[in-house]
Amino acid sequence: MTSPESPATSDVLQGLNPAQQEAVETIDGPLLIIAGPGSGKTRVITHRIAYLVRDCNINPRRILAVTFTNKAAREMRTRMERLVGPRSENLTMGTFHSFCARLLRMDGSYLNVPQNYTIYDAEDQLSTIKQAMELSEVDPKRNPPQAIRSVISKAKSLLQDSQAVSKFADNYFEETCGQVYHHYEEILARNNALDFDDLLMKSVLLLQEIEEVREDYQRRYQFLMVDEFQDTNVAQYKLAQLLAGGHHNICVVGDPDQSIYSWRSADIRNILSFQRDYPDAQTVSLEQNYRSTAVILEAAKGLISANGMRLDKDLFTDNQQGTPLVIHEAYDAEDEASFVINEVDRLVRQERFKPGSCAVLYRVNAQSRALEEACLRRGMKYRLVGGVRFYQRREVKDLMAYLRVLHNPLDEVSLSRVVNVPSRGIGAKSMQDVVAWAQKQDIPLLAAMQRISALRKNSNETAMEPSPLSARASTAVARFADMIDGLIQQSEELHITDLINLALEETGFRMFIQNSDDRPDERWENVLELRNTAREFNAEEPRDGLASLLERLSLVADVDGYEESDDSMTLITLHQAKGLEFPVVFIVGMEEGLLPHSRSMDSETELEEERRLCYVGVTRAQQRVYLVRAFRRGFFGASGPTKASRFLQEIPSHLFATPLATQGGTAPRRPSIDIGEPFIPTPVKGQTTPSRPTLKTGDSIRHATFGEGVVMECVATAGDHEVTVEFSEGVGVKKLLLSYAPLELVVG
């Protein structure tokens, strides 16, 4: 390594504070950077890379930087272009999943992973799990597919295969999950498909088992940087360790106080134990906050100091003192929303804030309803982050399914999605017959369709077996198979946009959309937007082709599409707000049962994560923070009084504009903030208290609001039972008290 210039001669170090400069200049061996909110961690990462390239003469090809969102990766890439110039193109920079996707495209053959594999999203996974459940003869009513998907996903994040799940199962439900997991993997393999968790798990397996590949990547990447390290799971940390195994030049950047993704299998122990795993690691703390006022920062510090699982740091700021925090108690959710909209309107009219400066943060998506309705009534423009994702819209998924089949003809999930879109006379019964025939013949689904086409063309040849379909259905299937064959041949020659144009015409999809009765103009605009995305991609990377385009589109996340706007306020969950900042932040639903969430009440570990989530919300703010709660809120189908969040008491009272004790808000004669008994909803008038069913792990239940689910755990508490339930239909895991939760045991 060429010796670097002295700090005095390096312009890369200019403008950095002493701690930032130390982090940039520490380049040899393991390094832990504890980066508080607003402390300039992206600046440190990019300047550290620039320092390696410009001052230490490190080849950019030897540097790998991974983060968690495409948005963060794009921001990092943009900054590197300014700092390093054209040489930045040789840097490897992206998300864990995008890096692993490329790794498996190049070297996955060692594990029998084909280059043309398809990445299945959550919807595709669910469809595949349902198939696996049929093979396992598992009843979906008693075992919700969403719950099984959750178990499988967590197992993969822990690097556990189906055998491990079955071997270490604690109950019948987990045994069932192990069986389904086995068949699920078989179906994925038959479809040349991987799910998101496979990208990580198989990459780790590849580096562990294939010494040649591991040593090749260790030689190539001499410097590894991992952003948002507190959000890594077991698989991601193991991947980083394997990549850094040869040189130990691993730099991890994160903040345990911002670890909020345990439900996504993130493990806070990774960052807390980094120094144990790397005893020679150096530690640098970035403690100067450049984002928030002194008042906001002091409030955040007071809040998070109640946590035990953390690494000490002493945040400070040179920013102005700022405006005290505002706490407001509304009567109900509607009144809460009205207060927020009125206050945003006042800030815009009287204090010259822009609507886009304001963000409303909430714990659960359902809280957006009242806020959206209030915005619509007042004519307030807003952006809802995390609604129906563009790439999940029906027409977009349909067109992408066609492209996926052209790229990977073994992808039966995509094939089944579009075989009769638009309608071409191939009904559900015909498809069932084709699938059964394909299984009997032990051939892929498209190959079975091609064979039916061949049988139709050679109907006079008695040597060939009879078609499993009627003459009419055979004709329809044959035409579809021939069309797909033609497009596959064309896909090898055409540019992506030309291929999309051809597919739109040959499949009849364009006419189908434009002549539909369901918002044809809007749906066609979505198709054109996808085509435009492909055109832009083709201009950027014309040689990468269809495989890379599908890979990129499969790895897009909700927040990746977030763009700042001056004229629209933002509605966003606390989880999605991570990594963003706003001049004005409203956190609504500051109540026991919402923030902290009810499922965290009996677990100190989960309660600490809820406190970290609130901390993340407060530290998104640059100038103003509003903490809002409702005196009454509908919950579990009942409406009752709430108790203020304990987090409000943990923020020093002198930081509020009005002392807590005088905050009555719009609740009539209601003392303001009273942390008392836990929230027990008042039943709706005329509602009878349901009897308590006797429940055990694996039982199927039905909830009046959340629908059907499966019991994951049932624990006796003081005078009650707490039931952990994995609900279907995207509801997720809920913790309920049996005394008032309307649960019905599903028998049979």
Query: Which residue numbers are catalytic?
Result: 41-42, 227-228, 258, 620
Structure tokens at 419: 């075989």
Structure tokens at 260: 């909020």
Say which residues have a Cβ less than 8 Å from residue 429's Cβ, sequence separation at least 6. Answer: none
C-alpha 204/C-alpha 439 separation (Å) is 32
C-alpha 621/C-alpha 644 separation (Å) is 21
At residue 523, the 3 state secondary structure works out as helix
C-alpha 290/C-alpha 229 separation (Å) is 21
Q: Please list the residues that pair with 570 across neighbouring strands.
A: 359, 383
Q: Identify the CA nearest to 225 among candidates 62, 70, 107, 105.
A: 62
The backbone region for 296, taken as left when phi is positive above 0, alpha when psi lies in -120 to 50, beta otherwise, is: alpha
C-alpha 339/C-alpha 240 separation (Å) is 47
Considering just the CA atoms, what is the radius of gyration of the chain in Å?
Answer: 28
C-alpha 332/C-alpha 667 separation (Å) is 9
Q: Please list the residues that pair with 723 across neighbouring strands.
A: 714, 736
Say which residues have a Cβ less than 8 Å from residue 119's Cβ, sequence separation at least 6. Answer: 101, 193, 194, 195, 196, 199, 550, 551, 554, 555
C-alpha 695/C-alpha 462 separation (Å) is 61
Cα dihedral 6, 11, 12, 15 sign:
positive
Say which residues have a Cβ less than 8 Å from residue 349's Cβ, sequence separation at least 6. Answer: none
Q: How far is CA 331 from CA 591, 619, 667, in A?
A: 13, 26, 5
Number of H helices, E strands in the chain: 27, 21
- Across 474-489, b (16+ Cβ under 10 Å) vs e yields bebbbbbbeebeebee
Element (H, E) at 627: strand 621-630
- Residue 242's CB is within 10 A of a number of other CB atoms, namely 17
- Omega within 30 of 0 (cis) for the link into 596: yes
Q: Are 600 and 364 in contact (CB under 8 A)?
A: no
At residue 745, the 3 state secondary structure works out as strand
C-alpha 248/C-alpha 30 separation (Å) is 6
- Residue 443's CB is within 10 A of a number of other CB atoms, namely 14
* 595: Cα separation from own chain's centroid: 20
Q: Identify the CA nearest to 19 among candidates 229, 252, 287.
A: 287
- Residue 145's CB is within 10 A of a number of other CB atoms, namely 20
- Name the DSSP letter for residue 594: B
* 257: Cα separation from own chain's centroid: 19
C-alpha 609/C-alpha 630 separation (Å) is 22
C-alpha 41/C-alpha 681 separation (Å) is 43
The backbone region for 133, taken as left when phi is positive above 0, alpha when psi lies in -120 to 50, beta otherwise, is: alpha
Q: How far is CA 89 from CA 63, 84, 132, in A?
A: 11, 9, 43
